[in-house]
Amino acid sequence: MGREQWKKIWVGSAGNMVEWFDWFVYATFAVYFADSFFPEGNETANLMNTMGIFAVGFFMRPVGGWLLGRIGDRRGRKAALTLTVTLMSASAILIAVAPTYAVAGYGGVAVLMVARLLQGLSVGGEYAASATYLTEASAPHRRGFASSFQYVSMTAGQLVGLGLQIVLQRTMSDAALHSWGWRLPFVVGALGAAVVFYLRRSMLETEVYAESGAAVQEDRGTLKALWKHRREALLVMALTMGGTVAYYTYTTYLTKFLSKSAGMEKSTASLVSFCALFVFMCLQPLAGMLSDRIGRRPLLITFAVGSTFLTVPIMTMLKHAGTFWPAFGLALLALVVVTGYTSINACVKAELFPTGIRALGVALPYALANALFGGTAEYVALWFKDAGIESGFYWYVAGCAAVSLVVYLTMRETRDIDLDRVGTAEGKGGRPQSRSSHATSVTPAS
């Protein structure tokens, strides 16, 4: 892969890293600031309230998916990507300065809510814009590899957040972290978003979009156009269901599960998550390259089978892991299974839609599925825990994966689809398309 190709991957994914850093540090630092915005009382209840606000951000993601997906299809991928990082920077600043309950009562909760709504709006469009950009800007036979960097950058953002948490845990007292130290990651996120905004202003539009005629189609990026591809939209929701629940279970929720349920020190739980996620991040390009050789469906099916049958035993053993190494091994096993979904789900979804509706087609149904399943995963887990039947959540995760397994077994292979011909009569027939796409080069954005 040449220097120009790597540059496109970097530009397309660097902002994604900052976006997801800001998104995930809310979840990873929630254990420190949950009591700051609510009256003193039940610690689990306060954490549930805080994670409820986290879930609200997910319900804003469909709005962001619609708005920014529409912008991405009508004004180009660059315009959408620049706007998403602007919104994320603003939300990070709001959380960094949000007043506590002792200072402003529930006014601080209101600030958190507004910030999470902005984050949901931003991330709702970021996923589709970056997935579409990485897929369109790569060579046809490297789409799986290139799009895998979406989860590389997402995980890198989370690793930076976890790494910062580990550093703060070792350099600040627990009292200081609960008092004001939790604000530091949001300051870092705001500054990072400002840097990425500068980088994205000079990024190039994909040639697939520039030459497709999408810019002159009257119904491009509209719900009317998406309705014509409602079958593909429903497919995106169904194939996302199991993957997003499993992903959030073993990433954002894992640290809290190890500390609250398994009884580990917060610092040890954070270290387990950090190490497992680092290996997980490195696996994404390898799995993406594998999908370019054998297809997308084998990896998706492997994920769904593994998640359906291994979730309950993995979570049960994690609860009794006790020390670092058993917990790390089990967490890594779970994330290896999840890699079958995360490494290629971006390109699979982008490969389902024609260029004029691709950003919206990926964004809206994916955001809806995340609002229903991904955003509520932690809240559902805490609900089961508070009800005294924590193991019920394990079966919930396995059940969601089983539903997605049915979808993976019946869907068509998308590896050989020509992005320029998706949606044509020939393309709908399911026959492999020519792989002579123009996605390997880009032209300056207008």
At 60 the pLDDT is 86
Give CA separation, 319 vs 24, 91, 343, 389, 393, in Å.
23, 34, 27, 13, 13
What's the rounded mean pLDDT across residues 411-422?
Answer: 89
pLDDT bracket for residue 287 (50, 70, 90): very high
Highest mean pLDDT among 206-210, 211-215, 383-387, 421-425: 383-387
- Beta-bridged to residue 443, according to DSSP, are 205
pLDDT bracket for residue 445 (50, 70, 90): very low
Highest mean pLDDT among 26-40, 212-226, 306-320: 306-320
At 424 the pLDDT is 61
At 441 the pLDDT is 35
How many other C-beta atoms are found inside a 10 Å radius of the C-beta of residue 201? 10
- Beta-bridged to residue 442, according to DSSP, are 206
At 27 the pLDDT is 76
β pairing state of 205-206 and 442-443: antiparallel
What's the rounded mean pLDDT across residues 206-233?
Answer: 82
> How many angstroms separate the CA atoms of 327 and 265, rounded?
12
At 66-117, the pLDDT tens digits run 999 999 999 888 889 889 988 988 899 999 999 887 788 778 888 888 888 8
At 13 the pLDDT is 85
At 233 the pLDDT is 96
pLDDT > 60? residue 215? no
At 254-266, the pLDDT tens digits run 988 999 899 999 8
Question: Amino acid identity of 378?
Answer: E
At 430 the pLDDT is 41
pLDDT bracket for residue 176 (50, 70, 90): very high
SS3 115: helix
Share of the chain above pLDDT 70, in %: 91
At 321 the pLDDT is 93
What's the rounded mean pLDDT across residues 165-192?
Answer: 90
Better-predicted residue by pLDDT, 423 or 132: 132
Least confident of 19-28, 282-291, 313-322, 403-412: 19-28
At 66 the pLDDT is 94
pLDDT > 70? residue 217? no
At 420 the pLDDT is 82
> How many angstroms separate the CA atoms of 43 and 35, rounded?
7
At 332 the pLDDT is 97
> What's the whole-number average pLDDT of the chain?
86
What lies within 8 Å, CB to CB, of 6 at 6+ separation is none
> How many angstroms separate the CA atoms of 37 and 94, rounded?
14
> How many angstroms separate the CA atoms of 288 and 147, rounded?
7
At 239 the pLDDT is 92
pTM over 0.85: no
> How many angstroms separate the CA atoms of 338 and 52, rounded?
25
Better-predicted residue by pLDDT, 445 or 23: 23
At 341 the pLDDT is 98
> How many angstroms separate the CA atoms of 312 and 68, rounded?
37
